[in-house]
Chain A
Amino acid sequence: MTDLERHEYDVIVIGAGGAGLRAAIEAREQGLRTAVICKSLFGKAHTVMAEGGIAASMGNANAKDNWQTHFRDTMRGGKFLNNPRMAELHAKEAPMRVWELETYGALFDRTPDGKISQRNFGGHEYPRLAHVGDRTGLELIRTLQQKIVSLQQDDHRETGDYESRLRVFAELTVTDILKGDDGAVSGAFGYWRETGGFVLFSAPAVILATGGIGKSFKVTSNSWEYTGDGHALALRAGASLINMEFIQFHPTGMVWPPSVKGILVTESVRGDGGVLRNSEDKRFMFDYVPDVFRGQYADTEEEADRWYKDPENNKRPPELLPRDEVARAINSEVKEGRGSPHGGVFLDVSTRLPAEEITRRLPSMHHQFKELADVDITAEPMEVGPTCHYVMGGVEVDADTAATSVPGLYAAGEVAGGMHGSNRLGGNSLSDLLVFGRRAGVGAAEYIAALGDSRPAIRDVDIDRSTETALAPFRDASENPYTLHSELQQKMNDLVGIIRREEEVREALEMLDGLDERAESVGVEGNRPFNPGWHLALDLRNMLAVCRCVALAALERTESRGGHTREDFPGMDPQWRGVNLICTLDDTGTVQLKRQPVPEIRQDLLELFERTELSKYLTEPELSRLDAGSAESAQGSEQS
């Protein structure tokens, strides 16, 4: 290979969003020579789009908040299918990770006593989201980006070279993770988007921080980057994906005009007082409070409205139920003919807050609707409907170290699975990125220290194979990658979308067989420099692999829970609560699905909940074990 550029690092971080940058900062601070790779320019990753805030129980707005409460809310939101250890670490460490950002230069909105202000969000018992207006993701990414620059300035002072220990490779796409003879990670292979030239990275540790999969769906809040690359890279490297059936459809995406359909309308609109109404002007969410949440949400509009001023003595408005509930409710209203003119429902703040307040608290929403839809949200309601937003499923990792089952391979952020169970609470992603991004950096450092000098070597056959696969689309063939992509998006939306049925999911699997076959004859025009058709052709194989996992898992799980709703199995089944669905690739490259038990929730964590609440989620045997355990620990404390 004459045109192969080679680099050597201790650790390679794939992804420059919140998770990747936090991992890179940690790795560099642990003394590792670190490379960060991303498909876009530095500072443009998806994290930049996050709006509402970052969840951490700092207790600035309500002193009663603590990690236990945050843990409880996270488990409830995920319908108890979360990896409990991840949810615990996340709740405990999020405050420190947010405070750290201030030392990097972040400027959050403040409380009157000068602390970080915290806002209400769906599913969070107390105001918990640190925020900067409605552009929190921008603040997060810029802060981490500037911290990276600051570390590079330190290195420059010391070595005369900004990039001696930490380098960002922007607009470079990784297409394969490579392994040595013993099956441990040896590096990664990719191409520069600008030139099309191939690049080989040798490194004993790779951290995947590639984000989500939303670009496989037609209506989505996600950008072109979200083609599930990290999920597919992990699968092909031999790691497993967990619970890919759980996909979050955010209840409020724009529905009009068509070209912006799917763009997110932040949940802060509801957190700050916005309400949902149908075409009959009814606040319909009161009709959709499910049993497990009865008692925690207001029954009347009067009580709900009082809550904003006096949350101690009133229950929360049902507009702030977890996202899966709100999205399904909107879906039903539209289906039953009570939707808005363009097929959504109305979200209104204009009658709820003074105009100045709206432009101060929700500046980018105001801007977005004004510029893209000619709607002034201070004067009229918005039209909104569900949009594919986030994937709860992802690469299976060890909670403490973010390690996958492949030695040297780590995953953090949206690409990792387990933390959010069947449904993620708003604000819990940004905190997840920081907590587990940092842990992945530490995990990789420990692994490399233990490895000593015996680093796995890259095999020439792998380089040849990666090169060949990457060049394959430059063949004389007839399938257009754009056509295949739009068919995939439409079908996934229709068949494995917010509401699922057995026959439809089966149809989706057949459709995927067909697309897999046609993908073999995708041909692209032009040359290698900055060729979007070629890029899409390569992303397509990742999307197809990931969509198959989603469909297989959606077919297998015969219940409805969080981000997986089966019309033919509408109830939540305690038997299924204990089951994770795991996808791997077999030797022939075919996806295999198996069931695996969810890690047990430790007794002390279970005891954070009332028994009556647990009885809504756990099976009888689980409950009797809990009771036996409680009796034992009560006895234990009597004796000591």
Chain B
Amino acid sequence: MSYDAKFKVWRGDADGGTLEDYTVEVNEGEVVLDIIHRLQATQTPDLAVRWNCKAGKCGSCSAEINGKPRLLCMTRMSTFTEEQTITVTPLRTFPVMRDLVTDVSFNYQKAREVQAFSPPADLQPGEYRMQQVDVERSQEFRKCIECFLCQDVCHVVRDHEDNKPAFAGPRFLMRVAELDMHPLDTADRRPAAREEHGLGMCNITKCCTEVCPEHIKITDNALIPLKERVVDRHYDPVVWLGNKIRRRGA
């Protein structure tokens, strides 16, 4: 059942590093994170990696496996052949801190720039009424575990560091869409989506959707509808107002 696998793991820090070779035991049913833990316990106790839940729920263990953004804890070893060399590197879009750990503070800054939920001032706790069909769209986006794999893969920032200040990235554009579709949110989020969060820079390549471990349809269900509404508003602000009022009354 068990065999020895060949691993290449990136070791280093902000000043640079290299891919180091390891040979390490693999047992039935294991995921890549198990192997990283075995390396820590048996060969290299100071190998830095982030993880928490080991069940795909917290979004801590993001890295790139053979060049693809993945969760280490949800990538089963059985998806590789026994001969294959497995290369594990840190997320490329964010600055390396040490080994597989990157500085993801970019994402927390972007989160702060999205205006918070703005409920109607007159509604008291306990008085909120919403229909399941109306909350479902935003609920899909709230499945997000903030693994930032979509942020890592999106070419707008992956290949262009200088776009970072002007572009919130798929995760936070989706947050704008989520609030925009919240049945009780009162803010008009369209001007900011274009002007502050860089919605226009997304050219709907759908790479973000492809890597999302929660299988959220980021592009189809959040970004494209948001783009459509932003265009709508551009021509007719009354449409937006009408939408909001209808939804609240429903």
Contacts and interface: CB of A to CB of B under 8 A. Distances in A.
B184 to A, nearest CB: 8
A258 B99 contact: no
Nearest to A58: B126
Given A96-B126, A525-B46, A40 B99 contact: no
The number of chain B residues touching the other chain, given as a range, is 35 or more
Interface residues of A, number: 70
B31 A372 contact: yes
A119 interface: no
Interface in A99-114: 99-100, 102-105, 107, 109-110, 112-114
Contacts of A162: 112
Contacts of A223: 51-54, 58
A139 B144 CA distance: 10
Most chain A Cβ neighbours within 10 Å, of B49, B51, B53, B99 = B53
B190 interface: no
Contact of B130 (A49, A103, A114, A527): A114
Nearest to B143: A135
A150 B119 contact: no
Given A258-B29, A372-B74, A107 B139 contact: yes
A107 B138 contact: yes
B45 A524 contact: yes
Nearest to A170: B108
Interface in B90-109: 97-99, 101, 104, 108
B195 interface: no
Interface in B118-138: 119, 123, 125-126, 128-132, 135, 138
A146 B57 CA distance: 18
A471 B108 CA distance: 31
A350 interface: no
B60 A44 contact: yes
Query: What 7 pairs across the A-B complex have the smallest Cβ distances?
Result: A257-B29, A526-B46, A150-B116, A105-B117, A114-B129, A533-B45, A99-B125
Most chain B Cβ neighbours within 10 Å, of A139, A162, A223 = A223
Contacts of A153: 112, 115-116
A34 to B, nearest CB: 17
A257 B26 CA distance: 13
Interface in A192-210: 194
Contacts of B34: 259
A143 to B, nearest CB: 9
B5 to A, nearest CB: 14
A609 interface: no
Contacts of A533: 40, 45-46
A140 to B, nearest CB: 11
Nearest to A43: B146
Nearest to B100: A530
Contacts of B56: 367-368, 371-372
B47 interface: yes
A530 B50 CA distance: 10
Interface in A548-575: none
Contacts of B185: 105
B232 interface: no
30 contacts: A41-B60, A41-B104, A44-B59, A48-B52, A49-B53, A95-B126, A100-B125, A103-B123, A103-B128, A105-B116, A105-B182, A110-B130, A117-B132, A135-B143, A138-B57, A149-B112, A194-B98, A223-B53, A257-B30, A258-B29, A260-B55, A264-B55, A367-B56, A368-B56, A371-B56, A372-B31, A373-B29, A482-B45, A525-B45, A532-B49
Contacts of B129: 113-115
Given A107-B138, A110-B132, A372-B76, A530 B98 contact: yes
Nearest to A528: B46
Nearest to B33: A259
A48 B30 contact: no
Contact of A146 (B58, B116, B131): B116
A48 B57 contact: yes
A256 interface: yes
Nearest to B137: A107
A225 B145 CA distance: 18
